[in-house]
Amino acid sequence: MKKLFLVVLIILIGQGVAFGGETSKQSLVTFSFSKTQIEFDINDITKPYTETVNVGISEGIDKIETFCQIDLPGIPKDRILIAFGINPMDISFSPANRDIRLAKGKGNFLLPMSIRFIPSWQDKPGRYEGRIKILYRTDSGDAIVGSTIPIVIDIQPVLVITVWTEPRYSEDLEISFRVPSPGEWKSREKLWFLIGTNYNSWNLQLKANPLIHEKFQDIMINPEDLSIRVRNGNYQTLANPVIVSSGSGGSKITIGPIEFKLKVDPKTRAGDYTGNFEFTFFGTPR
């Protein structure tokens, strides 16, 4: 497929001014890009994203150097990497927290430039806007901005939850109790969560539903007879929803062990009871 090469911006540099003893006719420098904007749509924090743009440079004198900088407020520059060439290897990428040279000397250059963004759980959801600046300088002059191209990073709210039990007695994810007699009995399993999110603030809430007798649907064990503790803390009743964990800023944390306890009254009818625990994530993206 042929690519359409667009000249976005052409700048004449030094018209009527000599560079390094050269005449103005020899001082022509032009820049162009194959895109009008570099844009990233981030919906997965666990992988890098790469976009490519062709940069055209025409340098009219020998003693001139072109290089690029990135100005993108809110995003650390060491997580924006740049490399040149077709399908560059990972080792070829350099962080944009320093000047990155494009070309040096007289001639025409067409450079495929790859921009890579490495997301982090610390990146708050939102739209980040900045510019990639192409600058030039001669042996006797300061760095001057010759052209720019917008760069936009849209970071979506991201939530990744992994749940498991230890030990695991069933193929299903379940919490079970063995109750040989009235009293208080701990669950056989302990529950664990791994939460990765870039929400600005969040909490994980647990609600217990009644446990229903297998044969007699009108017989149940109520949530107030269940209790929970997290990370070997104190047990608290599940008569009402309980906040299991909370956080602020982006994070990736392990929550556990989460242990359950069941109180059985002597009047409780023997048999198998089933129910469920509802875990709900509440978050504020920004």
Q: What is the pLDDT of residues 195-229, one digit of tens each?
A: 999 998 999 999 999 999 999 999 999 999 999 99
Cβ(113)–Cβ(106) below 8 Å? no
- Give the torsion sign (CA, 286, 198, 91, 52): negative
Asked if the domains at 24-155 and 159-284 fall in one CATH topology, the answer is: yes
Is 0.85 surpassed by the pTM of this model? no
Question: Is the model more confident about 203 or about 137?
Answer: 203
Assess whether pLDDT exceeds 90 at residue 76. Answer: yes
Quick one: pLDDT at residue 96?
94
Question: Is the model more confident about 149 or about 4?
Answer: 149
Domain 24-155 indexed as CATH 2.30.30.40 = no
Assess whether pLDDT exceeds 80 at residue 70. Answer: yes
Assess whether pLDDT exceeds 60 at residue 286. Answer: yes
Cα–Cα distance list, 39 to 35, 57, 83, 266 (Å): 10, 22, 17, 65
User: pLDDT category, 20, cuts 50, 70, 90?
Assistant: very low
Q: Tell me the percentage of the chain whose pLDDT exceeds 70.
A: 87
Domain 159-284 indexed as CATH 1.10.3470 = no
Token pair for residue 40?
């990233």
Quick one: pLDDT at residue 61?
61
For residue 250, give the nearest of 155, 122, 161 by alpha carbon: 122
Rg of the chain (C-alpha set): 31
Residue spans of the domains in the chain: they are 24-155, 159-284
Assess whether pLDDT exceeds 50 at residue 92. Answer: yes
What's the rounded Cα separation, in Å, for the pair 272 and 53? Answer: 64
Please list, residue by residue across 155-182, b when 16 or more beta carbons sit within 10 angstroms of its beta carbon and e when fewer do.
bebbeeeeeebeeeeeeeebbebeeeee
Quick one: pLDDT at residue 28?
59
Q: What is the pLDDT of residues 154-170, one digit of tens each?
A: 999 999 999 999 987 77
User: pLDDT category, 143, cuts 50, 70, 90?
Assistant: confident
Mean pLDDT value of segment 247-264: 91
What's the rounded Cα separation, in Å, for the pair 167 and 190? Answer: 7
